[in-house]
Structure 1
Amino acid sequence: MQKVTSLQTSYDVIIIGGGIMGASTACFLSQNKDFQGKVLVVERDPTYEFASTSHTNSCMRQQFSTGLNVRISQFAADYVKNLGAYLSDSRVPKLDIQNFGYMYLADTEEMATTLRTNHAVQHAAGAATQLMSREQIAAAYPFYALDDILLGSINTVDEGFFDGQAVFDWQRRIGREAGVEYVAAEVTALNKNTAGNRIESITLSTGQTVSCGQLVNATGSRAARTAAMAGLSLPVEPRKRFTWVFRAEHPLEQPLPLTIDPSGVHVREVSGGTYMAGAHTEEDPAVAFDDFAMDHSLWENHVWPMIATRIPQFEAIKIVSEWAGHYAYNTLDQNAITGPHPDISNFLFLNGFSGHGLQQSPAMGRGTAEWLTYGSYRSLDLSAFHYERIAANAPILEKAVI
């Protein structure tokens, strides 16, 4: 990243947050021939050691409860599979999606009804989701214990996991080569004009002040803190999510879909007899921004027993690695918050993705870049996720949150 002393005094767009959302927006801006401005990305932690982007499980799915989220992931799948073409660069390696799919399991009639309702939404949006009876699941995936299961839902088309780090790295690289500036610093203040309806400049931790035309809040789990600098409220908070990678003494004879157990524990294939599991504690409070401590009792008392119960072949497993990360959790409806603030018109939100950020970043970066350039969307209309619904307390509830 550039040293702070190399900064210009003014930029057309300043993006606070250099994770996947900030990088995607900057990259799309840099490739838009109609955008001729200067872009600065401010990132407080250039190592990304504790960023949500670095702790992602790199998964992608179309099994959402809202049609817009399905279409957002459909674009993401096309973007990942054709990254070199989208970035117009032959150096970009060919990426693909490991289409093992997501397997949602329902053990109550209420959960089964939700799967059926979601299936109708997904089917209408063009997703290849299939509902499966207990008998159908047992025939296709004989390793599950299914005595309590009423229904399953799976999609193996453009649904699984991918190399999210490669997408992130190439977006940053292409953006920088096209003139996007990245700086390692923390924003300490957002400075409004006299009327209070625009952000005129930002102040950095170095004491330097930089003027801006438009400002994007892409600060992940810290989004509410950034918004508060402008006197705005935002229902986004850090929620801790735990991940374990383990090796099975007796690997499965076929790939394991990303299985969402009714308990909330999820587990998926990695490769070569290695698997990845994730969960959160029963009580799911907001945590401190720097709280990444593991809860080892969660694995021993809940996660491992549930995995071994659902997949008896996983009775003998060994943890290879583990970590805790943060969801930027939208407490209103677990959906994205995008677009400009109605009163501070040059302050744009790109927040609250509640664990969907990596897979939604191509569409969100593209859409935000379009809004910054044209003042409207030219591809996928994201206005349903604009801030106005937050102010009106009008949630668009996403039911398929893991």
Structure 2
Amino acid sequence: MFAFTRGANRLVRECRTREKLFYLRSWRYVWPETRKCLSTSGTKLSDSKDNPGDSPYRSHDDNPVRRTFNILSDDLKGYFGVNGKSRISDPEESKNTEEKKPQGPNGAEKIWPSFCDVLVIGGGAVGSSVAYHIKERALKGLNVVVVEEDSTYKRASTVLSVGGIRQQFSVPENIQLSLYGMDFLRRSPELLAVEGMDPPDVQFNPSGYLTLASEAGVEQLRENFQIQIEMGAKVDFMSAQQLKRRFPWLNTDGVEAGVIGLENEGWFDPWNFLFSLRRKAVSLGTEYVNGKVTGLEYHSLDDMITEVTGESVLKNLNSAEITLPDGGKRNIRFSICVVAAGAWSGEVGRLVGIGDGAGIIGVPIPVEPRKRYVYCVHAPDGPGLDSPLLIDPNGTYFRREGLGGLYLCGQSPTEEHEPAIDNLDVDHEFFESNVWPTIANRVPSFEKLKLQSSWAGYYDYNTFDQNGIIGLHPIFTNMFIATGFSGHGIQQAAGVGRAVMESILHGEYQSINLERFGFERVLTNEPLYEQNIV
């Protein structure tokens, strides 16, 4: 934690607008202010109001300021040891302690977590990865609470995805994130193991991706391939003739070339991955709260004066209102907030006025839900075990699902044909008119397929440039953002979780430099587009 403080003093955020230049020396002042806000927040979180007697939870009586300093002290001991001994407790002692904790609904402790060090909004793959990486590195030094509205994950983007992971991007940072993600998946039986339980099995299928390009897109495909090779990706560039020889079932009409992943690509079971991440995070001490964040409280940092206005524009979040499934409301105070609410992250930002008013605060988190369909079809004569996840030049994809002649397929609609998001109903006409004709043209045996089932899920769609937004918000100086991955979140979750952990504990990225993914690019209107990538 002290490494974070030292590194934070070096962190200078430079946010450019059209007319003015602000220098935000964020964390030099935020950490003392954050400690202060724990005891002087604008709304008193009294037991009578925030923790009524009929709730299964009760308040914690410790003083949050004393506790914060105790945590910092413990954390220092944990990293450097005291008298040559590690702060990590005996496993049997930890086990006995955990067994004594009273349990409430959904496995939550009966003691309501009225304050924490890090509050993560969103318990999907990205939010759970953030929690896991923080707890795995900080041990007991930081108290992490994750708020997730959909505790069953029925509507979660993670579990409704097709679970693909690839290296085939044009932005180097995305390639690096997926390479780490693949390494994380490979080591997941070890990394996500929990004592007394079966090791996780994410059911990874290493069949790779095959990205096809027409004559119009072949040069961009070649440029992407060169970037991928330079970043250490294991991919191969193949002409149409080479593709036909390797995949006799493939119709290469209109195809000039393709790139196929040789290693570190394929697909896995999103539900098993998410469940294993969450289970491990909980075993490390993370608390999950079933509820929705419906309010955020903040105060201004009066000692932060800008050069332009002579007044403070910076703010510090200090408390979240949580609405529980039964309609009751509770509050959690915190030092740091991580917005990993996926498709609803823009909505979280609006709780504190992000997107309202003028200047920087008037720029919204440009993330909104977009509905995408996944269709499961049966084609007994379709491609066999050598079938990769194939992406047609028009963006339609398919991949094998198991060994019984089943395939998953889909296509992103054009901007003018975006479906409504008020429900998760599936448009089967879209399959008949768009998806089926494309895959039947590419694989003739798909002409006789039968639609077996279908579902829809939400993308956390970044309307600005369809790439993730990661890092501190320039106004709310203890709000980290990790959202907007536009369909790539499941494969980048591990890398994003590690990156957020590094930013919080060390004040800077140490593994992959993701500064280009910061919110600043939205302010300066400098989009970071992927080229020829779905």
TM-score (norm: length of structure 2): 0.72
**Contact 1:222–1:289 (Cα < 8 Å) also in 2:** no
Bigger shift: residues 80-89 or 389-398? 80-89
Query: Shift of the alpha carbon at 1:311?
Result: 0.5
Residues 255-287 of structure 1: per-residue CA shift (max 9 Å, x gap):
211111122210111222111101133345666
Residue identity in the other structure for 1:363? G
Q: 1:253 to 1:4 in 2, by over 3 A?
A: closer
Amino acid at match of 1:223: S
Is 1:149 the equivalent of 2:149?
A: no
The whole-number CA distance in structure 1 between the counterparts of 2:189 and 2:137 is: 16
Q: Would the alpha carbon gap of residues 299 and 365 (structure 1) be closer, same or farther in structure 2, given more than 3 Å must change? A: same
The answer for the alignment partner of 1:9 in structure 2 is 114
Q: Would you say 1:228 and 2:323 are equivalent positions?
A: no
Which residue in 1 is equivalent to 2:331? 209
1-side partners of 2:168 and 2:371: how far apart? Answer: 23
CA-CA distance at 1:194 after TM superposition: 4.1
Is residue 337–residue 387 contact of structure 1 (8 Å, CA) maintained in 2? yes
Structure 1 position 400, deviation (Å) = 4.5
Deviations 1:187-233, CA, capped at 9 Å, x for gaps: 11111114461001011123222111000101110010001112221
Say if 2:389 and 2:400, in contact at 8 Å, map to a contact too. Answer: yes
For the structure 1 residues 80 and 241, does the alpha-carbon distance in structure 2 shift closer, same or farther, using more than 3 Å as the test? same
Contact 1:26–1:180 (CA under 8 A) maintained in structure 2: yes
1:219 is the counterpart of 2:324: no
Equivalent in 65, 72, 76 of residue 170 of structure 2: 65
How big is the shift at 1:164? Answer: 2.6
Contact 1:82–1:95 at 8 Å: present in 2 too? no
State which drifts further: 34-43 or 315-324: 34-43
**Partner in structure 1 of residue 371 of structure 2:** 240
Q: 1:389 matched to which residue of 2?
A: 521
Which runs of structure 2 are paired with 1:23-62 in the superposition (5 Å)? 23-33=128-138, 36-62=141-167
Q: 1:197 and 2:302 equivalent? A: no
What root-mean-square deviation, in Å, do the aligned CA atoms of Structure 1 and Structure 2 show?
Answer: 1.9
Say which SS state the counterpart of residue 245 (structure 2) adopts: helix
Does the 8 A contact of 2:140 with 2:285 survive in 1? no
Structure 1 residues 376 and 253: CA distance shift in structure 2, 3 A:
closer
1:19 aligns with 2:151: no
In percent, how many aligned pairs have the same letter? 34
Aligned equivalents of 2:411 and 2:443: distance in 1? 16
Pick closer, same or farther for the CA change 1:274–1:95 going to 2, 3 Å: same
Is it true that 1:178 corresponds to 2:284 in the alignment? yes
Matched, 1:78 2:186: no
Deviation of the 1:249 alpha carbon: 3.2
Task: Supply the distance in 2 between the matched residues of 1:173 and 1:95 (Cα, whole angstroms).
Answer: 13
Q: 1:8, CA displacement in angstroms?
A: 2.4
Contact 2:159 2:270 in 1 (8 A): no
Secondary structure in structure 1 of the residue aligned to 2:329: coil
The answer to whether the Cα contact below 8 Å between 2:220 and 2:532 also exists between their aligned partners in 1 is: no
Aligned partner of 2:218 in structure 1 is: 112
Seen in structure 2, the aligned counterparts of structure 1 residues 283 and 384 have a Cα distance that, compared at 3 Å, is: closer
Task: Tell me, in whole angstroms, the C-alpha distance in 2 between the residues paired with 1:6 and 1:285.
Answer: 48
Contact 2:189 2:200 in 1 (8 A): yes
Q: Is the 8 A contact 1:221 1:289 kept in 2?
A: no
> Any unmatched runs of 5+ in structure 2?
1-105, 302-313, 355-363
> 1:156 Cα shift?
2.3
Q: Distance in 1 between the 2:118 and 2:384 partners?
A: 51
Aligned-pair CA distance for 1:88: 5.8
Question: Structure 1 stretches of 5 or more lacking a match?
Answer: none
- Count of residues paired in the alignment: 401
Q: Matches of 2:438 and 2:113 in 1, distance apart?
A: 55
In the alignment, structure 1 residue 266 sits paired with structure 2 residue 397: yes
CA gap 1:4/1:193 in 2 versus in 1, 3 angstroms: farther
Cα 1:236–1:286 shift into 2, 3 Å: farther
More displaced 10-residue stretch of structure 1: 112-121 or 96-105: 96-105
| Preserved CA contact (<8 Å) 1:81 1:96 | no
TM-score (norm 1): 0.95
- Cα offset, 1:296, TM superposition: 1.0
1:98 offset after TM fit, Å? 1.8
Confirm or deny: 8 A CA contact 1:81 1:94 kept in the other structure: no
The answer to whether the 8 Å contact 1:238/1:286 transfers is no
